[in-house]
Structure 1
Amino acid sequence: MIGFICASPSRQQGQALVLGMLMATAATVSLVVLYNLGQTVESRERLTHAADAAVYSGALEQARTLNTLAYVNRTQIAHQVAMAHLVTLAASAQYARTMQAQRSRGNPPAGLVAMLFGPDAGLAYQAGQAVPDVERGLAAAFDQHDRIVHQVLEAAAATAIGELPKSRERIMRKVLSANFPETVSQGVAGGGGRQGPVLRLLSDGWQGYVERGLATRKAGLWPAVEQAAGRYGFLDSRSATRRNTWMVSPRCPLHRHELRRRGYTWLGPDGRWGALDTQSYHALRSNRWVGCYFREYAMGWGTAQGEKSKAPQGLEYVEEPPLDFSQQDFWRWVEQSTSWDIFGGATNPMANSYAMAGAQRWPSRGLPAYREIALARHGAPLRFAVAVRLPGAALKTTDAGSSVAASSGRFAYAALGKAGGVSVVSAAETYFVRPERRSDGRGELATLFRPYWQARLSAVTPQEATRAGEAP
């Protein structure tokens, strides 16, 4: 007969407790790991959104700076157009003053002008009247514009360029702080909060993206100013010729008395504005020595230009014109002292001479400097990338910011690696795009003469990702 021997209950006591404790420990460790992992993933996602918001804000600051420079350039153009109007007004004011003086002297008489060229021409001659001190006021306004373009706007552009890296970083840090209000910003002393995100610049295209150009050649600001000035009829040519219908001499039956009005505004080779206005009565004369010729009677003249500017190229005039010809013949003086064409000319050389002799010379520094995208960078957006790290102490893991008791030693949370934190990389760029396509359908290079700069996020390059993993 086989018998069964049963172990004593006292020998089995405690075995289930050990197994249960092992299972509870494993479950606890799993929960801790899962909790820490969840906190790490949540922190990384939160940091990614914050970093993207920060770099996008930095790119917006770049766009604002580039658009500011575009508005500065356009403001420079506007001031130049205003200065062109001022010199034209000054020439017109002097022209009216000299016309009043000639009319009062009867040289030529207003009645003769009306008889030969019509009542409206006579009325216009009669209307010429000086305005007291107007030229002085125009000169003062011109000086103010010159000061603004060379000092105020130049300083504004230089400041915008020089301050961009600091302002961009300041804005990015502010965005990061707003996304992590429970932390203390990097570099802030004191306070009981945990250290916030640490920002590190990985790449930056700002250096050399914008260059300063001098408007001493036909490029950049110069053609833009000329194009803008060309929109104003007041600055356009003010030239017209009226011919009398009567035959004067059988020697030259096709020639007539002429009333020549000449005037124009120019931007000289030195980048300084000038304006000239003249009007002359050209009386057809004839003698046995030279035949038919035009005797010029200057009726009005005026000019304003830069203090050191030369006369416009091709202008016919002499340095010291005689005040009258009571002691000499006009045609003989012309033959001996000038190379003017008094037989078939089309200008007012005598009035030009008086205008240049009494020219208003205004101090001017010419066209100012301007900013433009560097030639080699026109096809590329302005891009930068950053690495943002959130220290491990700022995470709500069991060994950092959590209220759960922290593990230590070999059981401490090690998923954050040697850096002891969470790191992300983000990039953004500022690019140029027209709000609508050009009418001719052509593309347009990036420029600082149009405020069409915008911002967007950009893909991170492998080089930047590798650089982010390196020790700072």
Structure 2
Amino acid sequence: MLAHPAYRARTVYGGQALIPALLLLSLCGVAWVALYNLGQVAAARARLTHAADAAVYSAALEQTRTLNLLAYINRAQIAHQVAMAHLVTLATWAKFSDTEAQRRAMGNPPTYLIGSLFGTKAQRSYSAGRPSGGAAHEAARAYQAHDDLVYGTLLHAAQQAVATLPRQREAMIQAILRANYPELQGQPQSLQWRVLSDGWPGYVRSRSGQALRPLAYAAVGRYDFLQPRNFTRTNNWIVQKACPQKRHELRRRGETRMDGDGNWSSFDSLSYHSLRWNKWIGCYYREYPMGWGLAGDRLGGDTVQRAPEDFSSQDFWRWVSANTSWNIFSGVSNPLADAYAWMESVSPRGRGLPDSHEVSSAGETAPLRFAIAVRQQAASLPVSGGASRIAWAGAYALRVFQPGDGLTVNAAAETYFVRPQPRGDGKNEKPTLFRPYWQAHRVAANAGEQFMAHGATR
């Protein structure tokens, strides 16, 4: 049976419409895949950018922690120097108290004589000396313990912090990237990073221990206990007609100092200087040591390290003339007490001022910059032809990236110095490793870093 003409026409026209519909459907599929890929690329780039920003900021924070650690170590080093200066001074005061008690017990000179010549205050002070029970040597051992901390702990920690910072940054970056891309663990080639710029080399310089000397002296200058302990009391009576302008004297001398190697030393002495006269040399001072103590080495002065314990068998002035160059006519020191102190000195062992770290001249004018590039290989990207399951097979496969391509982003951060509050004098403060005012922030990559980001990955 022949079909109705109208039915045949509808069939022909229906078959002709199927082809455009299929073409349109194909175009819609291509557009859908392209839109899908565009969204996936945008999402992948945003994810990679966030991961790179977090990684570089974490690296900058690691730099910040290192610089602040160095600042705290430097300040701790100064604090230890103050403590060591106190310890050597305590050692000499303990030794001074021991010897003062001995001389008072011997009555050389007697307590009443000091009181009658120089007053009750001087007499009470002379009577206050007590045996310290080995406190001087305890202070010397404590000094050595501080020295061990200075070198064995603080200096070692500072040197390790400077040397290991690049490795610490690298470990931080790796940890951040692993945390952001757990699915890529075990695929080291899928996610790579490299350094675009690194201001760390040369940013911090090592300085010899002598650089701490003025800072240590400035710190100990805040303590009255460590200041020079010098005064002279003079009796009012005329003693000798041959030299009516001179009087009996009570000389207290003491000082805490640092030697050329950076070791602290201290000395304290107290002597009664009795004005005498004879026809051979005229008026002179006969010294009677009342107390002494020495820790370390006293700098300068003419010190005889061996002196008689008493002068019952020889004249004081003859021994001085034959063995020393002391000025016993108008001197201002206690040379005999110093000589006794040398014979009984306490020797705290130390290695002097330690090395320290400070910002280099370049670091004083620019923040510490660090920038990286992070690249994700195309094979691991969630796009068609990559890690996505959406792909067309065959010669007509739709690919967003060619084999070997990938997605690359860059990120940068800075570690900078800023005071939490402005200075009271209104001045700007240069970056320094003696104040823990270091912070970090992200910054935009510069043109050079953006250009380098397209090179070979690390």
TM-score, normalised to structure 2's length? 0.92
Q: 2:344 aligns with which of 355, 358, 363?
A: 358
- The 2-side partners of 1:14 and 1:29 are apart by 23
Give the 3 Å change call, closer, same or farther, for CA 470–120 of structure 1 in structure 2.
same
- Secondary structure of the structure 2 residue equivalent to 1:355: helix
Contact 1:399 1:408 in 2 (8 A): no
1:335-354 equivalences in 2 (<5 Å)? 335-354=321-340
- Secondary structure of the structure 2 residue equivalent to 1:415: coil
Give CA-to-partner distance per residue, 1:399-447, whole Å, 9 cap, x none.
33445x3224554444345643321001112112222222333332222
Per the alignment, residue 214 of structure 2 pairs with 223
- The 2-side partners of 1:424 and 1:417 are apart by 18
Per the alignment, residue 226 of structure 2 pairs with 235
Does residue 1:394 correspond to 2:349, yes or no? no
Q: Structure 1: which 5+ runs fail to align?
A: 1-5, 188-194
Contact 2:271 2:290 in 1 (8 A): yes
1:251-262 equivalences in 2 (<5 Å)? 251-262=242-253
TM-score, normalised to structure 1's length? 0.89
Deviation at 1:237, TM superposition (A): 1.0
Give CA-to-partner distance per residue, 1:337-384, whole Å, 9 cap, x none.
333222222111111111122221232211112122234433222211
Give the 3 Å change call, closer, same or farther, for CA 409–76 of structure 1 in structure 2.
farther
Per the alignment, residue 318 of structure 1 pairs with 304
Q: 2:369 aligns with which of 383, 395, 406?
A: 383
- Secondary structure of the structure 1 residue equivalent to 2:453: helix
- The 2-side partners of 1:237 and 1:439 are apart by 31
Supply the AA of the counterpart residue of 1:239.
N
Supply the AA of the counterpart residue of 1:288.
K
Per the alignment, residue 110 of structure 1 pairs with 111
Does residue 1:267 correspond to 2:252, yes or no? no
Q: Structure 2: which 5+ runs fail to align?
A: 1-5
* Percent identity (aligned): 48
Deviation at 1:471, TM superposition (A): 2.3
- Secondary structure of the structure 2 residue equivalent to 1:360: coil
Deviation at 1:268, TM superposition (A): 0.5
- The 1-side partners of 2:109 and 2:369 are apart by 70
- The 1-side partners of 2:134 and 2:299 are apart by 26
Does residue 1:212 correspond to 2:203, yes or no? no
Supply the AA of the counterpart residue of 1:439.
G
Give the 3 Å change call, closer, same or farther, for CA 93–181 of structure 1 in structure 2.
same
Q: How many residues align?
A: 452
Per the alignment, residue 3 of structure 2 pairs with none
Give the 3 Å change call, closer, same or farther, for CA 417–425 of structure 1 in structure 2.
farther
Per the alignment, residue 194 of structure 2 pairs with 200
Per the alignment, residue 95 of structure 1 pairs with 96
- The 1-side partners of 2:454 and 2:106 are apart by 90
Give CA-to-partner distance per residue, 1:130-174, whole Å, 9 cap, x none.
121222322221221111111122221222222212221222222
Contact 1:185 1:196 in 2 (8 A): no
- The 2-side partners of 1:400 and 1:167 are apart by 33
Give CA-to-partner distance per residue, 1:101-149, whole Å, 9 cap, x none.
1111111001111111111211111111112122232222122111111
Supply the AA of the counterpart residue of 1:372.
E
Per the alignment, residue 286 of structure 1 pairs with 277
Does residue 1:467 correspond to 2:452, yes or no? yes
Give the 3 Å change call, closer, same or farther, for CA 322–342 of structure 1 in structure 2.
same
Give the 3 Å change call, closer, same or farther, for CA 385–328 of structure 1 in structure 2.
same
Q: 2:289 aligns with which of 273, 295, 298?
A: 298
- Secondary structure of the structure 1 residue equivalent to 2:347: strand
Per the alignment, residue 190 of structure 1 pairs with none
Give the 3 Å change call, closer, same or farther, for CA 289–377 of structure 1 in structure 2.
same
- Secondary structure of the structure 2 residue equivalent to 1:25: helix
CA RMSD of aligned residues (A): 2.3
- The 1-side partners of 2:111 and 2:90 are apart by 24
Give the 3 Å change call, closer, same or farther, for CA 63–200 of structure 1 in structure 2.
same
